Amino acid sequence: MKKIPFVALVVGGVLVADQLTKWYVRRTVGLYQSVPVLDSFFQITHVRNPGAAFSFLAGASDSLRIPLFLAASVLAIGGLIYFIRLVPEHQRWLLFGLSGVLGGALGNLVDRISSGQVTDFLLLQWRGYHWPAFNVADSFITVGVVILLVHSFFSKDASSGGSSS
């Protein structure tokens, strides 16, 4: 498969999966309601996050927060598209990582544009500790960043895209 169709398939798949799961949670789980999946470890908990990761700036005024997050999203998306264009077609893992981050960024941007906040619903906890709720977009952003980090640490020549990850 050529590079552009591959990237479009990954980005589109992430975006559709993210939006469908958020839509389903908004329709079936009440706000702040939790549904246990794996007792004492994993639950579906419907929350809305007006902030960024870990609710960063969630309490800031809409007049600051919304333009800031929209601008940051547009810049990040532009940067991701730029880097995707530079990656050779044979580096599928690197293209997958960048495309996953792009799809996740677009998924959360759709939420910000449509409602000014992001729907989160995946909640992990262990022995009284819990990770802040997240969503499918956040998951792909995280996986994509891990792939990018692994690539940067283990590529023979990361600056020229030398390895065939």
Catalytic residue chosen out of the listed positions 18, 62, 111, 120? 120
CA distances from 109 to 15, 52, 160 (A): 10, 11, 31
Q: Where are the alpha helices (DSSP H) in the chain?
A: 3-28, 62-86, 92-115, 136-154
3-class SS at 109?
helix
Catalytic residue chosen out of the listed positions 18, 62, 111, 138? 138
Catalytic residue list contains 120: yes
3-class SS at 130?
strand
| CB-based contact 68:52 (threshold 8 Å) | no
Residue positions annotated with a catalytic role: 120, 138
